[in-house]
Chains A and B, each alone.
Chain A
Amino acid sequence: MAEKTLLDVNPSGLIEHDHNHDGIDRRGFLKCMAWAGSGALCVIHGGVLTSKALGLPGSAKAHARGELSFVQISDSHMGFNKPANPDVISTLKAAVDKINALSEPPAFILHTGDISHLSKPEEFDNVDQILKSTNKEIFFVPGEHDVLNDDGAMFRERYGKNSKGRGWYSFAQNGVHFIGLVNVMNLKAGGLGTLGSDQLEWLRDDVSHLKASTPIVVFAHIPLWTIYPQWGWGTEDSGQALSYLKRFGSVTVLNGHIHQTMQKVEGNVTFHTAFSTAFPQPAPGAADSPGPMKVPADQLRSVLGITDVNYVQRRHALALVDSSLASSTSRSMS
Chain B
Amino acid sequence: MRKKLLFGGVAIATVICALSLLHGAKRENAPSSAAMLLVNIDNFSFSPETVSVPVNSTVTWVNKDDVPHVIASTQGVFKSRALDTDDKYSYKFTKPGTYSYFCSIHPSMVGKIVVR
Known contacts: A148-B68, A149-B82. The answer to whether A230 contacts B105 by CB under 8 A is no
Asked if residues A145 and B66 are in contact (CB atoms below 8 Å), the reply is no
A246 adjacent to chain B (CB < 8 Å): no
Task: From the candidates B43, B68, B101, B104, name the one contacting A288 in the complex (CB within 8 A).
Answer: B43
Chain B proximity mask over A73-97: 1 for CB below 8 Å, otherwise 0: 0000000001100000000000000
Dominant secondary structure at the B interface? loop
CB A224 to nearest CB in B, in angstroms, measures: 17
Contacts of B66 in A (CB 8 A): 82-83, 291-292
A46 CB within 8 Å of chain B? no
CA distance A184 to B108 in the complex (A): 13
Q: By the criterion CB–CB under 8 Å, are B108 and A231 in contact?
A: yes
**Which residues of chain B are near A191, meaning CB under 8 Å?**
107-108
Q: Is the CB of B44 within 8 A of A117?
A: no
Q: Which of A119, A149, A189 contacts B110 (CB 8 A)?
A: A189
Across the interface, do B105 and A144 meet the contact criterion of CB distance under 8 Å? yes
Name the residue on B nearest A229 (C-beta): B108
Bound Cα distance from A187 to B110, whole angstroms: 12
A186 to chain B, nearest CB (A): 9
* Smallest CB gap from B42: residue in A: A289
A109 to B112, CA, bound (A): 43
Q: Pick the contact of B65 from A144, A187, A291 — CB < 8 Å?
A: A291
Contacts A291-B65, A291-B66; A232 near B110 (Cβ below 8 A):
no
- Encode B58-81 as 1/0 by CB contact (under 8 A) with A: 000000011110100010000001
The 0/1 profile, CB within 8 Å of A marked 1, for residues 30-73 of chain B is 00000000000001110000000000000000000111101000
A262 to B101: give the CA distance in the assembly, Å: 32
Closest chain-A Cβ to B89's Cβ sits at a distance in Å of 12
Q: Find out whether the CB atom of A230 lies under 8 angstroms from the CB atom of B68.
A: no
A232→B85 CA distance, assembly (Å): 21
- Within residues 107 to 149 of chain A, which ones have a CB less than 8 A from any CB in chain B? 117-119, 144-145, 148-149
A133 CA to B65 CA, complexed, in Å: 33
CA distance A291 to B68 in the complex (A): 10
Whether B107 pairs with A232 at a CB distance below 8 angstroms is yes
Interface size of A by Cβ–Cβ distance < 8 Å? Answer: 25
Q: For A149, what are the chain B residues with a Cβ–Cβ distance below 8 Å?
A: 81-82
Whole-angstrom CA separation of A192 from B102 in the bound complex: 12
A55 close to chain B: CB less than 8 A: no
Q: Contacts A189-B102, A230-B108: A148 and B45 contacting too (C-beta < 8 A)?
A: no
Asked if B92 is an interface residue, CB under 8 A from chain A, the answer is: no
B68, B70, B84: most-surrounded residue (chain A CB, <10 A): B68
Q: How far is the CB of B42 from chain A (nearest CB, A)?
A: 9
A-B contact pairs, 30 of them (CB 8 A): A82-B66, A83-B66, A117-B68, A118-B68, A118-B82, A119-B82, A144-B105, A144-B106, A145-B68, A148-B68, A148-B81, A148-B82, A148-B105, A184-B105, A187-B107, A189-B101, A189-B107, A190-B102, A190-B107, A190-B110, A191-B107, A230-B108, A231-B108, A232-B106, A232-B107, A289-B43, A289-B44, A291-B65, A291-B66, A291-B67
Q: With contacts A190-B110, A291-B65 known, what are 10 further pairs, Cβ within 8 A? A: A144-B105, A145-B105, A148-B81, A190-B107, A190-B108, A191-B107, A232-B107, A288-B43, A289-B43, A292-B67
Chain A residues near B (Cβ < 8 Å): 82-83, 117-119, 144-145, 148-149, 184, 187-192, 229-232, 288-292
Q: Which 8 residue pairs are nearest across A and B when measured between Cβ atoms?
A: A189-B102, A289-B44, A148-B82, A144-B105, A289-B43, A187-B107, A232-B108, A189-B74
